[in-house]
Structure 1
């Protein structure tokens, strides 16, 4: 996907995430959207910084980079906890929505992984693919927040609440 697709994904994801975390639809929902918006958008744009240096879809499009962003909230918390979600959804969009894929295991392997469902970044279907993937991502987040906790032991439920529920 191109920058426009990643921004579209992040904006729609932030709005949907606001409603998933705070479905009341009142001022608190909009406050939640505002709180997650900037970190998710920044996270969604970050992997493409590797177009300025290194190898695009390799240098910053891999699991070690994602693990750094996942570890950050554990040590620092706060609003930046949502940056990891932007990075993760960037990867999902590039793997599922793009023909090329990404090098998940770089620098160990330069092999790029992607689904056959992807389109080229210049395709006239790129935006519809982006919206469809965003709906899938929001469904996955909603399942993590509302369905999965009923099947988990209390300790794991508390961990999940800390990961997704601290904004709401």
Structure 2
């Protein structure tokens, strides 16, 4: 997908997750929205830094980068939610390019899915909104079935710290 669609997805996802985490629609909800949305947008834009160096959809579009941002808060106590933006960037790129992304970089091979639309398609933004809807349904499911704490900073990181040596 293009930069605009990545930002649209991140904004909608951040707002949606913020409301799902704090559905009171109060000032606290606005605070939660800001706490989630800003890092998600940063994460959604980060993988495309590889357009300035390295190889686009390889250097920063891989599991190693995502893992680093999932684990970063465990060790440093900040950058919560950035990983969500990176993960959704990968999903959109898998659906928005026929070339795919290098999930296992630096190993050779590009991965893609057999469905999706080209970045230049008139349907790209529609697909972005639909993907965002599916992601929000997944988040709502996590919350509904008792796993909402995994999305709350620093609860996810507390869980990971308990698992890591």
Structure 2 residues not aligned, in runs of 5+: 156-165
Task: Output one character per residue of 1:109-158: Cα deviation in whole Å (capped at 9) or x when no partner.
Answer: 2x2212222111111100000000011111112222221x3xxxxxxx6x
Q: What is the aligned partner in structure 2 of residue 166 from structure 1?
A: 153
Q: What is the aligned partner in structure 2 of residue 104 from structure 1?
A: 103
Preserved CA contact (<8 Å) 1:98 1:117: no
- The whole-number CA distance in structure 1 between the counterparts of 2:2 and 2:32 is 27
Equivalent positions of 1:1-168 (< 5 A) are: 1-78=1-78, 80-109=79-108, 111-147=109-145, 149=146, 161=149, 163-166=150-153
Q: Which 10-residue stretch deviates more, 51-60 or 26-35?
A: 26-35
Task: Give me the TM-score of the superposition, normalised by structure 1.
Answer: 0.86
Q: What is the aligned partner in structure 2 of residue 153 from structure 1?
A: none
- The whole-number CA distance in structure 2 between the counterparts of 1:97 and 1:116 is 11
Structure 1 residues not aligned, in runs of 5+: 150-156
Task: Give me the TM-score of the superposition, normalised by structure 2.
Answer: 0.87
- The whole-number CA distance in structure 2 between the counterparts of 1:10 and 1:65 is 18
Shift of 1:167: 7.4
| Equivalent position SS for 2:81 | helix
